[in-house]
Amino acid sequence: MRKIHINCDLGEGGEYDEELMPLISACNIACGGHAGDEEIIRKTIDLAIANNVEIGAHPSYPDKENFGRKSMIISEEKLEESVRNQVELVQRITAEKGVEVTHIKPHGALYNDAAKDEKIAKIILNSIRKTGSNYVLYAPYNSVISKLAKGEFKVILEAFADRNYNEDFSLVSRSKSQAVLHEKEDVFHHVFAMFSEEKMVALNGVKKDFKADTFCLHSDTKNAVEILNYLQLKLKGKNIEIKKK
């Protein structure tokens, strides 16, 4: 049976983390930048340990007001310090619990900016270096940060199960009505094409070659639990199971 790696952004104050965690391979835990705090991080790590799920840090612009989904005008020094502090917070708590952070995945606008902006990408990579660990990096296909990280960091190429893409591999803006996939059938077809055919169908209908090692479903997507349960069922019918550690 083939295995698929599914990740989910958790510890963001959502009400379904306990239901989502058993259904995924890896979690990306909010580090206090866009959401979460030390207490939530601890609870989310405990939940990941109980469900044999990989633990990742999910740093963002320090902007809880906008949930980290808007680009910020911030000095390079302050952004680098913020990202490092966010990662080190998760790093410290996992060490206390005898487990490790396996990966880093930037959140929201920081993730999207690093995909196209070399300066932002370098700030993130510098922040990770200063944590003292050579973490795996989740990054989008054909992105600036994935190319800069190559050779120094192990890069896991990520695709979004519940987001539509533009032809240039960027995500359709959340300001547009078709940005997020809500129907479980649409999510399955989207994921299956990227996983089995290595093809991405853009919002305009154009099919592009595509590569992904992990697939993300957002925990704040409507009916995320229903979608993940459906994905698991449909993938099993295709002789594909969700990977666990």
pLDDT digits (tens, 9 = 90+) for 36-54: 999 999 999 999 999 999 9
| Helical packing angle, 76-96 and 118-129, nearest 10° | 40
pLDDT digits (tens, 9 = 90+) for 17-29: 999 999 999 999 9
pLDDT digits (tens, 9 = 90+) for 127-177: 999 998 889 999 999 999 999 999 899 999 999 999 999 999 999 999 999
Mean pLDDT of 56-62: 98
| Phi–psi pair at 163, nearest 5 degrees | -125, 140
User: Distance between CA 8 and CA 25 in Å, rounded?
Assistant: 8
User: Distance between CA 242 and CA 25 in Å, rounded?
Assistant: 7
- The answer to whether residues 167 and 204 touch, using CB atoms and an 8 Å cutoff, is yes
Among residues 41, 40, 32, 105, the alpha carbon closest in space to that of 64 is found at 32
pLDDT digits (tens, 9 = 90+) for 86-131: 999 999 999 999 999 999 999 999 999 999 999 999 999 999 999 9
User: Distance between CA 79 and CA 130 in Å, rounded?
Assistant: 13
**Angle, CA of 206, 146 and 20, to the nearest 5°:** 75
Q: Which helix (H) or strand (E) holds 19?
A: helix 17-20
Sort 96 into a burial class: Cβ within 10 Å, 0-12 / 13-18 / 19+.
Answer: exposed
pLDDT digits (tens, 9 = 90+) for 177-215: 999 999 999 999 999 999 999 999 999 999 999 999 999
Residue type, 166: N
Q: Domain count of the chain?
A: 1
- For residue 224 the two structure tokens come to 């995320």
- pLDDT of residue 72 exceeding 90, the answer is yes
Q: 21 pairs with which residues across the strands?
A: none
| Phi–psi pair at 136, nearest 5 degrees | -70, 140
- For residue 228 the two structure tokens come to 């993940």
For residue 87, the enclosing domain spans: 2-242
- The answer to whether residues 224 and 218 touch, using CB atoms and an 8 Å cutoff, is yes
- Supply the CATH number for residue 147's domain: 3.20.20.370
Provide the 10 A C-beta neighbour count for residue 81.
Answer: 15
